Amino acid sequence: MKKWLLVLGMITCMLGLTACGSEEKTEQLMSSAEAEELGAQIVESINMCVVQQMQSQVSDPVVLNAVEGWEAAAEDMGSYEEIISTESTFDEKDGVIDVRVKGSNREAIVEIVIDNKIITGISTNVEYTFGEKMEKAALNTLLGMGTVFAVLILISLIINCFGVIPKLQKKFSKKPAAAEVKAVPAVKVSAPVVEEEELTDDLELVAVIAAAIAASEGASSTDGFVVRSIKRAGNKWQRV
């Protein structure tokens, strides 16, 4: 029954527009009384659809958008109470009907747009007080400015990090090199030690060797040479 009432209301609106458009003598699409009746029918039908939760049964996109807009506006407007006034503007084929409705919290205006004798749009606009509009404007301004300053601060921090990053890289790159230097033990290179056998304390051995060398050279005495040191070469003695 509820579904049929909704459909009947919409059909009545369409028939009213058709009847008005069929009159060739009229200069405008409909009179003020007809616009008021049409607006009331549309408002009542939309409100009933929302209250009875019949959105799933609506297939027409214009009606569906009107129902969704009314439902969204009801959060601020409150529950529907009555129609306050109706204003309309028409020419031969086009027109706009503004239906002011009263809600439990705020008033709203249901705008019905007619293009070429067809309803092309229905929207619900909640009426806010001047203080509420200023409050919303202030909140939007603060939100926008806060977002801008937050982004600027973030960019400034990122730019400052560019000066710190090279220092950190330099600091961390030096530590492994220092560790490697400490890990390598120092190697001391010493010159080879040539062991020489000093014979100053063994004069007898020096005299014997000097005499043997003089005999091998055919000298009669050891005055022609001086034995300074003696090195062992295998099993033989070598003169240096």
85: domain CATH number?
Answer: 3.10.450
The pLDDT score that the predictor gives to residue 181 is 47
pLDDT for 97 equals: 92
Q: Please, what is the Cα angle at 58 between 52 and 63, to 5 degrees? A: 100
Q: Are 29 and 20 in contact (CB under 8 A)?
A: yes
pLDDT given for residue 164 in this prediction: 79
Q: Which of 130, 155, 188 is the last residue of a domain?
A: 130
Residue-range definition of the domain harbouring residue 20: 2-130
18 vs 226: which has the higher pLDDT:
226
What residues pair up with 119 in beta bridges, in sequence order? 114
Domain final residue, candidates 105, 130, 155: 130
218/101 same-domain check: no
Q: What percentage of the chain exceeds 70 in pLDDT?
A: 67
Residue 214 lies in a domain: yes
Q: What is the mean pLDDT of residues 8-12?
A: 55
Decide: 71 and 53 in contact? Cβ < 8 Å.
no
Q: Give yes or no for residue 154 having a pLDDT over 70.
A: yes
Q: Is residue 156 part of a domain?
A: no
Among 130, 150, 183, which residue terminates a domain? 130
Q: Examine the pLDDT at 186 and tell me if it is beyond 60.
A: no
In a domain, 221, yes or no: yes
Q: What is the DSSP letter of 25?
A: S
Q: Which residue pairs from 209-213 have beta carbons closer than 8 angstroms and sit at least 24 positions apart in sequence?
A: 209/237, 209/239, 213/239
pLDDT grade, residue 192 (50/70/90)? low
**Residues present in the chain in total:** 240
